[in-house]
Structure 1
Amino acid sequence: MEKEDNVQSCGIGIRGVAMAIDTVIWFALFFVATFLIASVSGDIVTSSTGADADLTGTPALVALILWLGLSIGYHTILEWRYGKTIGKGLVNIRAVKDDGSSLTLGSSLTRNVLRLIDFLPLLYVIGIVFMIFSSRDQRLGDRLGGTTVVQA
């Protein structure tokens, strides 16, 4: 594991830009999950203008769970292996452990599963509140995962 002594945490603004970029990928993953489940369940409606996935009940729940798994997996794996998602890479920031070393799979998974709580009630309100009251700009997931986001 690579360790750095001189790390500077990143604030809400630049992290928000990275998350906005990653949200585009989340939408793509949503369509993958929705159309995959719709194709398996036979809930795709086609017309001359295109295709539509009309999911309700159990297939909709399965698609939602698959999408959440893909989204959390996207963040977890990329941050564990590379320290950054595509959004973080484009704005030149990365996630590290509190001591500046690379994330472990466990620390990456913890910070990203807790992203679901940080997002509540909408648009990362809980995460932002935690960052405001943190000297290192850490959201709840960062605090419990022992991580922070720094300039790359």
Structure 2
Amino acid sequence: MTDTPDTLLDGTHTVLTPEYVEFRFTLAGLYARFLAWLIDALIVSGITVGLVIALSMAGFALAGFASALGFVLYFLVDWGYGIALETAWSGQTVGKRVMGLRVIQQSGVRIGFYHAALRNLARPVDRLPFFYLVGGVTALLSGAHQRLGDMLAGTIVVRERRLKAPSALGGLGGEGLLADPLFVSRVKRLSAEARELVLSAALRREELRMEARLRLFSALGTKLQELLALEKPAHLSDEKWTLLVAAALLPSPGEKPGGTARAVA
């Protein structure tokens, strides 16, 4: 696979699955991360100023303590903002969403509250002595562009790319399984991690060597039968079975327009 200029500029992170299939993620560069942080900092500052004004009007801020109150509120809002949004939005804040970035675990899966809390609570150390100098230097020296908070939480920040749903998925409408309410309802109940794995495999399968592709879909086919508690029809290959699951996961035209899906790269 040929590296794109962005890949060469930002670096890559490779994850090897138990089936010995490699997935490559494009690491976010410091410039993109800085712009995302700047957007988030403006939002946090705006929320903090609003809270200080509201508390002052309510009589909770004593004269001479407004600066101290603002300082304390800024850190509380900053922590809460980062932890809450990265947990709810699977590794994104407003700034990261605007810049097309996402925080994921080094294993390639989405982060949860634990990881979001660790990386955000470490921000005061990364900010030392000013303007994220410690965090910036650490990210520059780290092969995975990790600041101290990322090292502590075992996370990395990667770029997202918008991939067009393969034509094979759009041509599966005639399959009886997609019209089976039991099959569709069980697919819709798959966990977020399972959905991500299925869609990622469907979107990236053309990038894999044939041996790795067969190994991956063989493992996925068996796992999906277990998760769905359904037998794979004998006439379907493991790859076609997985693609049908992916097609059932895609929104119908009435739910959301467009034939693209988000994927980290």
Equivalent pair of 2:139/2:147 in contact (CA under 8 Å):
yes
State the alpha-carbon separation in 2 of the partners of residues 17 and 93 from structure 1.
Answer: 11
Residue number in structure 2 paired with 1:141: 149
Residue number in structure 1 paired with 2:76: 69
Give the unaligned 5+ runs of structure 1: 44-53
Q: CA-to-partner distance for each residue in 1:80-123, whole Å, 9 max, x for gaps? A: 12121111111101111111111110110110111111111111
Equivalent pair of 2:49/2:70 in contact (CA under 8 Å):
no
State yes or no: 1:39 paired with 2:57: yes
Residue number in structure 2 paired with 1:25: 43
Residue number in structure 2 paired with 1:13: 31
State the alpha-carbon separation in 2 of the partners of residues 55 and 147 from structure 1.
Answer: 42
Partner SS, residue 102 of structure 2: strand
For structure 1, which segment, 64-73 or 115-124, has the greater mean C-alpha deviation from structure 2 after superposition? 64-73
| 1:91 counterpart (80, 89, 99) | 99
Distance 1:41 1:100, change over 3 A: same
State the alpha-carbon separation in 1 of the partners of residues 152 and 57 from structure 2.
Answer: 38
State the alpha-carbon separation in 1 of the partners of residues 101 and 95 from structure 2.
Answer: 9
- The letter for the 2-side match of 1:23 is A
- The letter for the 1-side match of 2:73 is L
Equivalent pair of 1:10/1:149 in contact (CA under 8 Å):
yes
| 2:138 counterpart (109, 121, 130) | 130
- The letter for the 1-side match of 2:121 is V
- Please give the TM-score of this superposition, normalised by the length of structure 1: 0.82
- Please give the TM-score of this superposition, normalised by the length of structure 2: 0.49
Deviation at 1:10, TM superposition (A): 1.1
What is the aligned length? 139
- The letter for the 2-side match of 1:103 is I
Partner SS, residue 26 of structure 2: coil
| Higher alpha-carbon Rg | 2
- The letter for the 1-side match of 2:119 is R
Q: CA-to-partner distance for each residue in 1:8-56, whole Å, 9 max, x for gaps? A: 211211101111111210210220231133123365xxxxxxxxxx852
Partner SS, residue 103 of structure 1: coil
**Higher RCO (CA < 8 A, seq sep 6+):** 1
Give the root-mean-square deviation of aligned CA atoms.
Answer: 2.1
- The letter for the 2-side match of 1:11 is G
Give the unaligned 5+ runs of structure 2: 1-16, 161-265
Equivalent pair of 2:135/2:148 in contact (CA under 8 Å):
yes
The runs of at least 4 consecutive aligned structure 1 residues that moved more than 3 Å come to 59-63
